[in-house]
């Protein structure tokens, strides 16, 4: 979300320098309690431009990037701005233990 935790993005990217992990950023998704508001969206490019030196190709349902000299990757799941419904086969596990299908399913 625009204006939220922006100062922490580079810290999360730094986690991938020596660890072969994938840090995923999930874009704002509207549910019952949070209303869809396009003004709250922060374009993906603005989020990583200060932290990322080079990037890989598009992969699967998300955008996966790899920075120079890092063993891990970062991903942006952008379901609201870059729809991937046609190829989605994912379920989401909620914090209460229930499953949900895709937002647009």
Q: What are the CA-CA distances from residue 9 to residues 89, 91, 98, 101, 105 (Å)?
A: 28, 26, 29, 28, 30
Instruction: Name the E strands within the chain.
Output: 22-26, 63-65, 73-77, 92-93, 99-100
Residue range of the domain that includes 71: 6-100
Question: 0.85 cut: is pTM over it?
Answer: no
How far apart are alpha carbons 82 and 91 in whole angstroms?
18
The model's confidence at residue 96, banded by pLDDT at 50, 70 and 90, is: very high
Asked if the structure places residue 12 within a domain, the reply is yes
Q: What is the chain's mean pLDDT, rounded?
A: 69
Asked if the structure places residue 49 within a domain, the reply is yes
Asked if the structure places residue 1 within a domain, the reply is no
Question: What's the mean pLDDT in 75-91?
Answer: 70
Res 91: pLDDT: 78
Asked if the structure places residue 30 within a domain, the reply is yes
Asked if the structure places residue 105 within a domain, the reply is no
Total domains in the chain come to 1
Asked if the structure places residue 42 within a domain, the reply is yes
Find the length of the chain.
105
* For residue 19, pLDDT beyond 70: yes
Asked if the structure places residue 91 within a domain, the reply is yes
**String of DSSP letters for 82-95:** S--GGG----EE-T
Res 21: pLDDT: 92
The model's confidence at residue 90, banded by pLDDT at 50, 70 and 90, is: confident
């Amino acid at each position: 979300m625009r204006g939220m935790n922006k100062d922490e993005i580079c810290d999360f990217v730094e986690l991938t320098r020596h660890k072969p992990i994938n840090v995923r950023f999930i874009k704002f998704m509207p549910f019952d309690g949070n209303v869809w508001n396009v003004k709250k969206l922060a374009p993906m490019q603005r989020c990583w431009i200060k932290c990322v030196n080079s990037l890989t190709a598009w992969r699967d349902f998300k955008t996966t990037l790899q920075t120079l000299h890092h063993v891990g990757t970062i991903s942006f799941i952008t379901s609201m701005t870059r729809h991937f419904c046609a190829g989605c086969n994912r379920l989401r596990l909620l914090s209460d233990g229930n499953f949900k299908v895709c937002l647009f399913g």
